[in-house]
Structure 1
Amino acid sequence: MKPIPVTQKFSVAGQLQPEDFAELARSGFKTIINNRPDGEESSQPGSAAEEEAARAAGLDYVFIPVTSSNMRPEDVRRFAETIVASDGPVLAHCRSGARSFYMWVLAGDADVEGFSDDKLIAVAGKLGIAPDNARDWLAAHRHVGKPEVKGFYEERNGSIQYVVTDPATKKCAIIDPVLDYDEKSGSTSTAQADRILAYIKERGLNVEWILDTHPHADHFSAACYLKEKTRAPTAIGAHVVDVQKLWKGIYNWPDFPADGHQWDRLFFADDTFKVGALDARVMFSPGHTLASITYVIGDAAFVHDTLFMPDSGTARADFPGGSAKALWKSIQDILALSDETRVFTGHDYQPDGRQPRWESTVGEQKKFNPHIAGQTEESFVKLRKERDATLPMPKLILHALQVNINGGQLPEPEDNGKRYLKIPLNALERAVW
């Protein structure tokens, strides 16, 4: 018996014998986890004999029998809780140590998060697990329900674009991509979207979706450009047609087709889809706009303008079609997700000059967001309305909406080959200068 250290607190080993326990105690171990079911081989001592030897040596002993094909969530949870509760180093064992090692990976504590797959495969090799077998197991189990999320911060407007990847299949979705636009010169550029394409190429990813959470008021969507480059379908919430109808009136476009055909798919509340093998679903999250939705992909929720980071509060609700009361309801729906759900916002304005941030959790939002903690619907609506009354409109709202209600498609060139935006004057009543 030779323990193989994985972290400072956790080690694994093959089958233990009763005479091993006293030496383990002298080596500093405090807790033994036995993951091997009784009766697998006639030579194994069995859990009763192991527990007796462990107790005699002053060790805590926990029996969590599993097989390679049956590691139940409740067993993994108990395994993780045992490690956390131990007041010193833990040794888990099975026949070879492999099951115990995989149980630790599934337990997913902070230490596991610090291990790359390559590092885990190296540890598995010490247990006699072939690298290809370890890699296949990790691809099938380690990242189940947990997408890789890469955020791209766009400094001009404080926007965050995302590439959300299923590690097992290398399939991904792009969320809320930005088409660069300089309102002073009227220039457009694909620099931000090209950053995303370069990342996708470097990682060898396959784009399955190009997703927008709503028609944005502060930047142009690059969905149309990225569809041209990747051939992936575009999607948005089905209530975009309500936004289209509202803004076609503001722009005086009687012939504009407000039917959502500009996207390949319109998502309704509770619709489901896949990103690789990851389950994804749609939450209807109105308030900031009539069409806002939240994408929940695995353990990650992409809320865009519904919530900001906990030190930044929540989104405004005074755009045409906005509602502070609806926003409060949408926030409560998001907060009903598990506290561990990762929350990714669509903007960060760097309060107090801190570095840009865009990831929090539902639990952190509940505890630290001043627009949530201690608030009621009544107090939130009052807070939101009072704050919104002081905010000027986004500088690009009239530029951007005519592009974004059209799926990110720029206006058609006129007979001189130039494209033109249409800016209605005095269209937004009571706007703060």
Structure 2
Amino acid sequence: MRLVKIDDHLSIMAQPSLADFARLAEAGFGRVINARPDGEEPGQLGNSAEANAARDADLDYSFLPVTGSTITEADIRAFQQALAATKRPVVAHCQTGLRALTLHVLGEVLDCRMSAGDVEAFGVAHGMDLSGAARWLAREATRVPRVRGFFDPRTGSVQYVVSDPATKCCAIIDPVLDFDEKSGSTATSSADALLAYVETEGLTVQWILDTHPHADHFSAAPYIKKKTGAPMAIGAHVTDVQLIWKDIYDLATLPADGSQWDRLFADGDTFTIGSIEGRALFSPGHTQASVTYLIGDAAFVHDTVFMPDSGTARADFPGGDAKALWASIQAILSLPGETRLFTGHDYQPGGRHPRWESTVADQARSNPHLAGIDEAGFVRLREARDRTLPMPKLILPAIQVNIRGGRLPPPAANGTRYLKLPIDRLEGAVW
């Protein structure tokens, strides 16, 4: 068991054995961070075995699987959070220790505790080649726009602040209004975190963009608009979704003309965030209204594809269509391979940390719903999988809010707002 001490809190090692977990506990460590995806080589312990060994040794454990070519800022921040969560010393490993050290060093540079020019020398001092980390930093420095993701663990949703470094203008994409279905309470903590970041970074909000009427959270777009004055926008086919759900909820007086938003984007419509051009791509399938926002080298795809280890989005909501989803995904995959894709949800398969950024090339190569599959195979897979999925727990409360542009129903005579729950209108309950 060879440890490389980085500082008083962090040490790095290669793949530990099962027996090493007890030794690490005896040496005073409090957490093991596993930065290695399962299945990299025959006989690898894997996440489940490591989690069990850590539990038996009374060690905290974090699963942060990454590969050298797919590290993102979300991975780096998750590594930092795992370090901060344990007061006792932490040991992080991958196959050799290099990826674990890379995650640490990149965080040090992003937080200005280390210069990018010192990275490779730091690696040499610890017996590691960090040239890959230096290349990552150089590449990220050229990325436009700047994207900051905010993960909401209650709903598995990801919200984004997308900014132009040159002008300090930004867009907020898919903001969440907190809702507790047990008490019926709303709160603005998630949206306030976005606004706090905007203020800290000195940004000006130019757009509030929703990708579609969400089925798993309330949109905080009206709250953000009230705070910033920025216009709200969504895809033009939101009117199709309004018509479907207006009938389901029996909302006779609801205008189904999209007037709840300031701008409705048709396919191909453009807009600007500071000096960066954005374009709306009609991406139906999950819903009839879904759009992808292509902004610089980043595409915000929400419920089309998830991370490569999580497949694709369901297409069984009213108005959904697996064939349409396939066509939308193919249009996204026709973008340049290095295009960054930002998904709207992550459900943390295997208990790993939340992730939300991939590339077109990553998806085409590694997504099991897409790699080596044709349209007919995808439709069969998607429809069979959808039949096994329960409806999202917030679909009935959320959509009646989101077809109003994120506004709650008007108050009744007693001043209280009420949500309607249509009974037996949605098919396919998984009991």
* TM-score greater than 0.5 by the shorter chain: yes
- Using the TM superposition, give the Cα deviation of residue 328 of structure 1 relative to its aligned residue in structure 2, in angstroms: 0.3
**Does the 8 Å CA contact 2:311/2:368 hold for their aligned counterparts?**
yes
Q: SS of the counterpart of 1:209? A: strand
Find the counterpart in structure 1 of residue 312 from structure 2.
Answer: 314
Find the counterpart in structure 2 of residue 371 from structure 1.
Answer: 369
Aligned length: 306
**What is the percent sequence identity of the aligned residues?**
66
Find the counterpart in structure 1 of residue 272 from structure 2.
Answer: 274
Find the counterpart in structure 1 of residue 325 from structure 2.
Answer: 327
Q: SS of the counterpart of 1:301? A: strand
The one-letter amino acid of 2:273's match is: V
Find the counterpart in structure 2 of residue 37 from structure 1.
Answer: none
Q: CA 1:294 to 1:114, structure 2 compared with 1: closer, same or farther past 3 Å? A: farther
- Using the TM superposition, give the Cα deviation of residue 279 of structure 1 relative to its aligned residue in structure 2, in angstroms: 1.2
Does structure 1 residue 432 correspond to structure 2 residue 417? no
Q: Deviations over 1:384-432 (max 9, x none)?
A: 0000000000011010000000000111111222111011111102322
**Does the 8 Å CA contact 1:143/1:167 hold for their aligned counterparts?**
no
Q: SS of the counterpart of 2:196? A: helix
Q: Distance in 2 between matches of 1:122 and 1:155?
A: 36
Q: Deviations over 1:136-172 (max 9, x none)?
A: xxxxxx9777111000000001000000000010100
- Equivalent positions of 1:147-226 (< 5 A) are 147-226=145-224
Q: Distance in 1 between matches of 2:220 and 2:314?
A: 23
Q: Deviations over 1:262-320 (max 9, x none)?
A: 00000000111101101110111000000000000000000001010000000000000
- Using the TM superposition, give the Cα deviation of residue 193 of structure 1 relative to its aligned residue in structure 2, in angstroms: 0.2
Residue 334 of structure 2, aligned match among 329, 333, 336: 336
**Does the 8 Å CA contact 2:109/2:116 hold for their aligned counterparts?**
no
Q: Deviations over 1:58-97 (max 9, x none)?
A: xxxxxxxxxxxxxxxxxxxxxxxxxxxxxxxxxxxxxxxx
The one-letter amino acid of 1:202's match is: T
**Does the 8 Å CA contact 1:237/1:292 hold for their aligned counterparts?**
yes
The one-letter amino acid of 1:232's match is: A
Q: CA 1:397 to 1:339, structure 2 compared with 1: closer, same or farther past 3 Å? A: same
Computed over aligned residues only, the root mean square deviation of the Cα atoms, in angstroms, reads: 2.3
- Equivalent positions of 1:229-378 (< 5 A) are 229-378=227-376
Q: CA 1:112 to 1:313, structure 2 compared with 1: closer, same or farther past 3 Å? A: closer
Q: SS of the counterpart of 2:309? A: coil
**Does the 8 Å CA contact 1:286/1:293 hold for their aligned counterparts?**
yes
Q: SS of the counterpart of 1:179? A: strand
Q: Distance in 2 between matches of 1:113 and 1:421?
A: 44
- Using the TM superposition, give the Cα deviation of residue 120 of structure 1 relative to its aligned residue in structure 2, in angstroms: 9.2
**Unpaired segments ≥5 residues, structure 2:** 1-104, 119-139
Q: Distance in 2 between matches of 1:401 and 1:364?
A: 32
Find the counterpart in structure 2 of residue 34 from structure 1.
Answer: none
Q: Deviations over 1:106-138 (max 9, x none)?
A: xxxxx9999779999999xxxxxxxxxxxxxxx
The one-letter amino acid of 2:155's match is: N
Q: Distance in 2 between matches of 1:413 and 1:112?
A: 50
The one-letter amino acid of 2:195's match is: L
Q: Distance in 1 between matches of 2:107 and 2:268?
A: 30
**Does the 8 Å CA contact 1:213/1:293 hold for their aligned counterparts?**
yes
Q: Distance in 2 between matches of 1:219 and 1:421?
A: 14
**Unpaired segments ≥5 residues, structure 1:** 1-110, 124-141
Residue 416 of structure 1, aligned match among 414, 422, 429: 414
Q: Deviations over 1:21-73 (max 9, x none)?
A: xxxxxxxxxxxxxxxxxxxxxxxxxxxxxxxxxxxxxxxxxxxxxxxxxxxxx
Q: Distance in 1 between matches of 2:194 and 2:288?
A: 28
**Does the 8 Å CA contact 1:286/1:327 hold for their aligned counterparts?**
yes
The one-letter amino acid of 1:223's match is: A
Q: Distance in 1 between matches of 2:407 and 2:291?
A: 21
The one-letter amino acid of 2:272's match is: K
- Using the TM superposition, give the Cα deviation of residue 350 of structure 1 relative to its aligned residue in structure 2, in angstroms: 0.2
Q: SS of the counterpart of 1:315? A: coil
* Bigger radius of gyration: 1
Q: SS of the counterpart of 2:200? A: helix
Q: Distance in 2 between matches of 1:154 and 1:296?
A: 23
The one-letter amino acid of 2:318's match is: P
The one-letter amino acid of 1:236's match is: I
Q: Deviations over 1:235-269 (max 9, x none)?
A: 00000000000000000112210000000000000
The one-letter amino acid of 2:362's match is: E
**Does the 8 Å CA contact 1:144/1:278 hold for their aligned counterparts?**
no
The one-letter amino acid of 1:362's match is: V
The one-letter amino acid of 2:244's match is: L
Q: Distance in 1 between matches of 2:369 and 2:116?
A: 44
Find the counterpart in structure 1 of residue 64 from structure 2.
Answer: none
- Equivalent positions of 1:71-110 (< 5 A) are none
Q: SS of the counterpart of 1:160? A: strand
Q: SS of the counterpart of 1:296? A: strand
Q: Deviations over 1:325-351 (max 9, x none)?
A: 000000000000000000000000000
